[in-house]
Amino acid sequence: MSFSHVIAFAALVGAGLAQAADPPAQAAPAAVTEQAAAPAAPLKPGDATAGQAKSATCAACHGMDGNPASSQYPKLAGQHEDYIARQVELFKSHKRDSAIMMGFAATLSAQDMNDIGAYFATKASLPGVADAKLVARGEAIYRGGDKNENVPACMACHGPDGRGNPGSGYPQLAGQYADYVTLKLKDWHDGKTWGDDDRAKIMPAVVKGLSDADIAALASYIEGLHAADAASTAAK
Ligand code: HEC
Ligand code: HEC
């Protein structure tokens, strides 16, 4: 291959026209080296349409639209794409412990996880109802934390309306089943973790000072929290 070919190829790359290059130029060693040295192509953002088809097996437990019929299973409707993909990856790598989810995550690629995440993110979480007896204590901790117990306000990260913040990896909580939230808060309280990165270390630290009664109150308040109006359904 001639020197002038390489120059021509470099010029094409520079002009963003590499794919229009003649076959000899595409086979240039320079191009091969460049490809090998380049980092793996970034994943494409999730495709909700592809995700809908891929989520067929999830529907049995999580519901077709991410709103499960049974409170044993967490709602995925309205949850952020990246959060869903992250959790499925944590199940797949066994960092997040669930005998059930391990099997369903095992066969999914990173792209599948993004697609499924994108699909459920387009759905709306159906609001639940808080227990009127628990809502005052739940709301107080959710919105203001508890200084004596060294518990921060949940609202600071998960938002006043429980919608969370996808950019920071703070999941949506609004409308999530109290049974599921209780289980997770207790797990963290008892020292269980999901992975070992900085993000996974937040919740075990947050819940340390919570009593069982506080956990029940928070879980109930969260189930009644509406993304739309930042209010709990339980009358006060
Ligand atoms: C047989 C029932 C079942 C099926 C089918 C199932 N899941 Fe799950 N899923 C669960 C259970 C139970 C949990 C709660 C695990 C835990 O935290 O202990 C869960 C948790 C999750 C979570 C974490 C939710 C959160 O808020 O942190 C995600 C994400 C998830 N599943 C995605 C999927 C996807 C995607 C599929 C389909 C490929 C799927 N699940 C299929 C039962 C199921
Ligand atoms: C400093 C930020 C921060 C604060 C404050 C915080 N959280 Fe979280 N929370 C997170 C992050 C980050 C995750 C996701 C962890 C991960 O992806 O590993 C999370 C996850 C959760 C989940 C799991 C959601 C799901 O779908 O499985 C629940 C439940 C939860 N938080 C409840 C609370 C409650 C209740 C409070 C207040 C007592 C609170 N959080 C305060 C950052 C925070």
CA distance 16 to 14: 5
Q: Is the pLDDT of residue 143 over 80?
A: yes
Q: Is the pLDDT of residue 29 over 50?
A: no
- Segment among 103-107, 168-172, 230-234 with least mean pLDDT: 230-234
Beta bridge partners of 189: none
Please work out whether the CB of residue 203 comes within 6 Å of at least one atom of ligand 2: yes
Q: Cβ of 68: how many Cβ atoms within 10 Å?
A: 22
Local confidence band at 21 (pLDDT 50, 70, 90 cut-offs):
very low
CA distance 62 to 95: 21
Kindly list the domain boundaries of the chain, sorted by start residue: 3-37, 48-121, 135-223
- Residue of minimum CA distance from atom 18 in ligand 1: 98
Beta bridge partners of 170: 165
What pLDDT shows up at residue 135?
94
Nearest to 202 by CA among 166, 161, 157: 157
CA distance 151 to 4: 67
- Give every CB contact of residue 2 below 8 A, 6+ residues apart in sequence: none
**48-121: CATH architecture:** Orthogonal Bundle (1.10)
Beta bridge partners of 225: 232
Please work out whether the CB of residue 194 comes within 6 Å of at least one atom of ligand 2: yes
Give me 145's structure tokens: 């934390």
- The ligand that comes nearest to the alpha carbon of residue 104 is 1
**Superfamily the domain 135-223 falls into:** Cytochrome c-like domain (1.10.760.10)
Local confidence band at 39 (pLDDT 50, 70, 90 cut-offs):
low
Domain 48-121 and domain 135-223, same fold? Reply is: yes
Please work out whether the CB of residue 73 comes within 6 Å of at least one atom of ligand 1: yes
- Segment among 18-27, 69-78, 107-116 with least mean pLDDT: 18-27
How much of the chain, in percent, has pLDDT values that exceed 90?
76
- The ligand that comes nearest to the alpha carbon of residue 138 is 2
The DSSP output letter for 166 is G
Please work out whether the CB of residue 156 comes within 6 Å of at least one atom of ligand 2: yes
User: Across all residues in the chain, what is the average pLDDT?
Assistant: 84
What pLDDT shows up at residue 157?
98
Local confidence band at 40 (pLDDT 50, 70, 90 cut-offs):
low
- Give every CB contact of residue 208 below 8 A, 6+ residues apart in sequence: 150, 151, 189
Q: Is the pLDDT of residue 14 over 60?
A: no
With beta carbons less than 8 A apart as the criterion, state whether 223 and 130 touch: yes
What pLDDT shows up at residue 43?
77
